[in-house]
Amino acid sequence: MSATRYTYLGPEGTFTEAALRTLPEAATRELVPMVSVPAALDAVRNGEAAAALVPIENSVEGGVTATLDELASGEPLMIYREVLLPIAFALLVRPGTELSEIKTVTGHPVAQPQVRNWLRKHLPDAVWESAASNADGARLVREGRFDAAFAGEFAAATYGLEALVTEIHDAENAETRFVLVGRPARPAAPTGADKTSVVLWLGDDHPGALLELLQEFAVRGVNLMLIQSRPTGAGIGNYCFAVDAEGHIADRRVGEALMGLKRICPKVRFLGSYPRAGVAVEDVRALRRGTSDGEFTAASDWLARAQDGRA
């Protein structure tokens, strides 16, 4: 395995590359762009790279399905870190192009909902066609296949384009969350401001099936930050659920919730416990009464005494 190589969703000039370069260790790694999320993750699975950075969630569009599906299937991988990156698009064109001349536009599918209103107002007749990534859209514009691409302004120089319009976004403070993924290993120690990600499969479809999963978290005071259903491929109505929960697997409340889920789910895939990006320990909400590690330990001790006739 190459311990110095990180892959990412390419080509050069993507928001993913920009997010990866915010990591301190990126300066000492070989950063290799890949054509897709599966390609970036497969490089980790087959030992060609130590880790991959891929997008997993957008504050406007929600979960990035290609990443969620890839982490839920195939050889297991683990998330070790997350990165939050503010997102604003630039309209990249070949030098000299005027706004009135733009008839075709491109960008990553996740970009379209973030610029839909701007398009409706400024380019109502332009035809949109999705690209593999925003940077790949810029490449296609350079080759003359589209008139304009929505991408990061920083991609203009890479592809010999110019930013005709900058700071385009329908939603203020839009962000995309990226995750650094590697092969499974022991999670880093808890920081006090952590997140745990899992994928859960329902045993059978019956009234209250999803509620039963959620109750395993709720009764232990574990707050959920994301839950998204994804088809399993086994037929209509068969779903698994990608879940992000506050806390670390080493926390008693989180560990016991995962044990409860393992008892009732036919399959549970642990995707990692890792520090939350942009959240300091002092900003983490106070735990509900009865959900701290000390209270779990005290309850366990009480049960042992009761079983021994000393309660």
What is the tens place of the pLDDT at every residue in 178-223? Answer: 999 999 999 999 999 999 999 999 877 788 888 999 999 999 999 9
What is the tens place of the pLDDT at every residue in 55-95? Answer: 999 888 888 889 999 999 989 999 999 999 999 999 999 99
Tell me the average pLDDT of the chain: 93
pLDDT for 115: 94
Residue 29's nearest CA partner among 45, 50, 6 is 6
- Asked whether residue 237 carries a pLDDT value surpassing 80, the answer given is no
Q: What is the rounded distance in angstroms from the CA atom of residue 306 to the CA atom of residue 308?
A: 5
Q: What is the rounded distance in angstroms from the CA atom of residue 173 to the CA atom of residue 117?
A: 16
pLDDT for 225: 94
- Say if pTM beats, i.e. exceeds, 0.95: no
Strand (E) or helix (H) holding 66: helix 65-72
Going along the chain, which residue ranges are E strands?
5-9, 30-34, 51-58, 62-63, 78-86, 89-93, 104-107, 127-130, 148-151, 162-168, 175-182, 194-201, 224-231, 239-246, 267-275
What single DSSP character describes residue 187? P
Q: Average pLDDT, stretch 130-155?
A: 94
What is the tens place of the pLDDT at every residue in 262-272? Answer: 999 999 999 99
Provide the 3-class DSSP secondary structure of residue 135: helix
Q: What is the rounded distance in angstroms from the CA atom of residue 137 to the CA atom of residue 151?
A: 8
- Asked whether residue 1 carries a pLDDT value surpassing 70, the answer given is no
- Triad 227, 15, 110: Cα angle to 5°: 50
